[in-house]
Amino acid sequence: MSSNSFPYNEQSGGGEATELGQEATSTISPSGAFGLFSSDLKKNEDLKQMLESNKDSAKLDAMKRIVGMIAKGKNASELFPAVVKNVASKNIEIKKLVYVYLVRYAEEQQDLALLSISTFQRALKDPNQLIRASALRVLSSIRVPIIVPIMMLAIKEASADLSPYVRKNAAHAIQKLYSLDPEQKEMLIEVIEKLLKDKSTLVAGSVVMAFEEVCPDRIDLIHKNYRKLCNLLVDVEEWGQVVIIHMLTRYARTQFVSPWKEGDELEDNGKNFYESDDDQKEKTDKKKKPYTMDPDHRLLIRNTKPLLQSRNAAVVMAVAQLYWHISPKSEAGIISKSLVRLLRSNREVQYIVLQNIATMSIQRKGMFEPYLKSFYVRSTDPTMIKTLKLEILTNLANEANISTLLREFQTYVKSQDKQFAAATIQTIGRCATNILEVTDTCLNGLVCLLSNRDEIVVAESVVVIKKLLQMQPAQHGEIIKHMAKLLDSITVPVARASILWLIGENCERVPKIAPDVLRKMAKSFTSEDDLVKLQILNLGAKLYLTNSKQTKLLTQYILNLGKYDQNYDIRDRTRFIRQLIVPNVKSGALSKYAKKIFLAQKPAPLLESPFKDRDHFQLGTLSHTLNIKATGYLELSNWPEVAPDPSVRNVEVIELAKEWTPAGKAKQENSAKKFYSESEEEEDSSDSSSDSESESGSESGEQGESGEEGDSNEDSSEDSSSEQDSESGRESGLENKRTAKRNSKAKGKSDSEDGEKENEKSKTSDSSNDESSSIEDSSSDSESESEPESESESRRVTKEKEKKTKQDRTPLTKDVSLLDLDDFNPVSTPVALPTPALSPSLMADLEGLHLSTSSSVISGLI
């Protein structure tokens, strides 16, 4: 079929025309481009023809194959013109797949992509919030610079949308536009500022994400929203929680003074990373005033605590780092249990969590000591997990638990995983240096390991013993003798080198053995590894200086061998040593000091944790994991010496009242979701306002106040579902319904006066806030009640209103009540007034409304 239809299309374009008509799109026929491509490339011919087909099933098949190509990373860009025509398809799946395609290739085919824009622009005005949201999502994902102004406009409108879901998508779109055109920053910050005020839990996470990406330095935008964010946090979706908690951690470090007492720092293993001496003095001065924690600081710490029980590891980690960085040190202990719980999770989660615990355990052993056994290594752990656990065990080791730990380490040394066994030996070395009581025990244990069957174990032990002996200049002749014997058997270069170095350093303590070792080494010099050769040279030099009688000839022999070695490092070293130790005419003053130079007291190597000081990176971040500052990492600032004005976070009552009065209420402010977990609580005043309505039902029946909370919860969602049904069912009827609602809502306002009084009795919280919320409550209440009767009345009105609603549906001001008035006034005068009998309350309502018309008009103009 396709083979016939195609040439026909190309010749006459008739098929194209019919199809266009059928599709009712505004796309320009791309047949020219199409023909050009098809003559060049035949391979996707069938796909193109399927896309041109009249049948949805053929189109769908084609789109599925194309998506398959994209998934495999094959280039499907040449199909762009054929695909883009289907952007307005009535079939949802085709449409979705076209969106997938569009977002993938629009950047490469900018001109053609423009053809799809009008479809999205239309969808942005769709009465269904989900369609508006998805249109915005795709429109903002098309990375075509020319549509930046369109995107900007769409974002602005969407940010004032009634639906929190659309506003959420607007927040996402902000970041997309910012990355497409950073010039828009200032305008976008305005939108962010507006969305930060949003009280919906749906929006909160997304807008904070946008904030972090666009303007993380504008901490001033957070002040007024700080308390709200803290209070909303529990009910935000988990991903949003992570982002908000990280942001609030940074915020807290700029706005509050340190809750850490001087005494804490002792426990901190002298960690004074952030404070210079001057700071400390000031701190002591200040300490005369007793520290009281800012209530806002406390609020954050308190409200994040329940999230330690989240199932999401990222949330738990986010709270843990918040406690680590901003809570008093006495309170940080509660995070350990939750972090330890995460260790049951997947290896990747374990890896990150263990890294963070490693950093914490260096500074505050006490936090994880009770969980010591949770870090015991299992034979099934991957090596990277094993080594991290070892690291933590080392950090936690102290006089009390070291014997238990050493017994545990003995098992590890026997592990089949040799890399891990070697790491354990290193660990034993570190424990030996950290805890003086066990140094000898450890050393003996390590010496025992020297007779282990496995060479890697022996070699690692040698290296560690070398370090230990260096730290303990006491007599260890026996051990050195033992090690000298090992030279006959052990082959690992680094171990051989370590032994030679040890003998050289202690050559005066083992006067008989040292020259003999040198003799053996002279014999095998040529076959040794470079590392070992260098140490043979060193040993020779040291012996030459201390015992030249026995070793002069041997050393000279070795120096001669070294002189002709293939490796230039060795040749260099040989030359250097010869000049230094063998006195001649040219050598001058330096050779006098040769002994001092070679046998100087060498500082012992510090066996330190690789996690030391890693906490100058905020915990839980990528930078911390990598120990490198990652792109886009935001520094955690030091605590301020003096707290900035805390009143910036006050949300003044007067201001609120102002905001409320002119319009009666700002719907958006009030439109926050009903919080699930809060539903049983009625403590907070802020809750009472947020209780007022559930956005899900905002287009439909509002939340009733009455009844048990659980019930009402359920009601609203049922309502919304039925609403959705009807929306998708008969889209055309929707406008009617919508207007009807508005009508009824406005009418309901007078009803609400009664309800309001009741509310005032029942609610005992903050008056202004409460008042506004109670209005909302009751109006929404009455809205659902009065719906049936008002429906019939409003039907009459709808036709006239319909046009107007369409235009004004998403006005610049986000105020719905204003909108209602706009709709209501001109029409209601002629139509609604003659029917006061139907609802006497309407009259009163209208009068009340008239007062505010002027302001609404003004703001409408603005």
Partner 1 sequence: MIHSLFLINSSGDIFLEKHWKSVVSRSVCDYFFEAQERATEAENVPPVIPTPHHYLLSVYRHKIFFVAVIQTEVPPLFVIEFLHRVVDTFQDYFGVCSEPVIKDNVVVVYEVLEEMLDNGFPLATESNILKELIKPPTILRTVVNTITGSTNVGDQLPTGQLSVVPWRRTGVKYTNNEAYFDVIEEIDAIIDKSGSTITAEIQGVIDACVKLTGMPDLTLSFMNPRLLDDVSFHPCVRFKRWESERILSFIPPDGNFRLLSYHMLSWDVGKINPQKLPSLKGTMSLQAGASKPDENPTINLQFKIQQLAISGLKVNRLDMYGEKYKPFKGIKYMTKAGKFQVRT
* Of residues 174-213, those binding partner 1 (CB under 8 A): 175-176, 179, 202, 206, 209
Is position 628 an interface residue for partner 1 (rule: CB under 8 A)? yes
Distances (CA, A) of 806 to 729, 739, 857: 20, 10, 18
Interface with partner 1 in residues 630-649 (CB under 8 A): 630-634
Of positions 353, 390, 446, 537, contacts partner 1 by CB under 8 A: 353
Distance CA 229, CA 684 (A): 14
Q: In the bound complex, what is the minimum distance in angstroms from residue 317's beta carbon to partner 1? A: 5
Minimum CB separation of residue 405 from partner 1 in Å reads: 12
Question: DSSP string covering 620-634, please?
Answer: TSHHHHHTS--TT--
Q: Under rule CB under 8 A, which residues in 17-56 are in contact with partner 1?
A: 55-56
Q: How far is the CB of 421 from partner 1 (least distance, A)?
A: 10
Q: Is 854 near partner 1 (CB under 8 A)? A: no
Integer Cα distance of 536 and 517 in angstroms:
9
Residue with structure tokens 């009767």? 789
303 near partner 1, rule: CB under 8 A = no
Residue 700: helix, strand or coil by DSSP? coil
Region 102-161 residues binding partner 1, contact defined as CB under 8 A: 104, 107, 128-131, 137, 140-141, 143
Query: What is the closest distance, in whole angstroms, from the C-beta atom of residue 78 to partner 1 in the complex?
Result: 16
- Residue 668, CB half-sphere, CA atoms under 13 Å: how many? 26
Q: How far apart are CA 268 and CA 247, in angstroms?
A: 26
- Taking the least distance from each CB to partner 1, the nearer of 433 and 623 is 623
Q: Taking CB under 8 A as the criterion, which residues in 246-275 touch partner 1?
A: 246
Of 35 and 145, which has the nearer Cβ to partner 1? 145
Cβ of 547: how many Cβ atoms within 10 Å? 17
Shortest reach from residue 38's CB to partner 1, in Å = 25
* Sites for partner 1 among residues 760-819 (CB under 8 A): none
**Closer Cβ to partner 1, 327 or 387, answer by number:** 387
Interface region with partner 1, contact rule CB under 8 A, candidates 12-20, 277-285, 693-701, 768-776: 693-701
- Residue 731 binds partner 1, judged by CB under 8 A: no
State yes or no: residue 681 binds partner 1 (CB under 8 A). Answer: yes
Backbone dihedral region of 704: left (phi > 0), alpha (psi from -120 to 50 degrees) or beta? beta
DSSP state string for 21-58: HHHT--PPP-HHHHHHHHHH--TTHHHHHHHHSS-HHH
Collapsing DSSP to helix, strand or coil, 23 comes out as helix
Q: Is 334 in the site for partner 1 (CB under 8 A)?
A: no
Footprint (CB under 8 A) of partner 1, residues 366-395? 373-374, 376, 378-380, 382-384
Q: Does 97 bind partner 1 (CB under 8 A)?
A: yes
User: Which one among 694, 772, 790, 817 touches partner 1, defined by CB under 8 A?
Assistant: 694
C-beta of 209 vs 390, nearer to partner 1: 209
Q: To the nearest whole angstrom, how small is the minimum distance from the Cβ of residue 409 to partner 1?
A: 13
Q: How far is the CB of 168 from partner 1 (least distance, A)?
A: 8
- Does residue 234 belong to the site contacting partner 1 (CB under 8 A)? yes
Least distance (Å) between residue 800 CB and partner 1: 30
Nearer to partner 1, 174 or 483 (CB): 174
Nearer to partner 1 among residue 709 and residue 791 (C-beta): 709
Report the distance separating Cα 163 and Cα 129, nearest Å: 6
**Cβ neighbours of 852 (radius 10 Å):** 16
- The residue from 36, 448, 626, 653 that contacts partner 1 (CB under 8 A) is 626
- Report d(CA 178, CA 152) in Å as an integer: 10
CB-wise, 628 or 858, nearer to partner 1? 628
72 binds partner 1 (CB under 8 A): yes
Residue 609 makes contact with partner 1 by CB under 8 A: no
Nearer to partner 1 by Cβ, of 310 and 769: the residue is 310
In whole angstroms, the minimum distance from the beta carbon of 352 to partner 1 comes to: 5
Report, in Å, the least distance between residue 96 CB and partner 1.
6
C-alpha distances in Å from residue 542, one per residue of 234, 346, 574, 601? 69, 54, 13, 13
Contact status, residue 670 vs residue 198, Cβ threshold 8 Å: no
Of residues 402-421, which lie at the interface with partner 1 (CB under 8 A)? 408, 411, 414-416
Query: CA-to-CA distance for 673 and 695, rounded, in angstroms?
Result: 5
Neighbours of 125 (CB within 10 A): 14
Question: Which part of the chain contacts partner 1 (CB under 8 A), choosing from 91-99, 468-476, 536-544, 605-613?
Answer: 91-99
| Residue (430 or 674) nearer to partner 1, CB | 674
Residue 31 Cβ, how far from partner 1 at the closest point, in Å? 27
d(CA 329, CA 811): 50
Total Cβ atoms within 10 A of residue 620 = 26
How is 228-258 classified by DSSP, letter by letter?
A: HHHHHGGGS-HHHHHHHHHHHHHHHHHHS--
Element (H, E) at 859: helix 840-861
User: CA-CA distance, 236 to 242, in Å (whole number)?
Assistant: 10
Region at 707 (left for phi over 0; alpha for psi -120 to 50; beta for the rest) = left
Record the tokens describing residue 476, joined without a space.
Answer: 């260890």
- Structure tokens, 554: 């041997």
x/- letters, 449..488, toward partner 1 (CB under 8 A): ----x-----------------------------------
Residue 71 within binding range of partner 1, rule CB under 8 A? yes
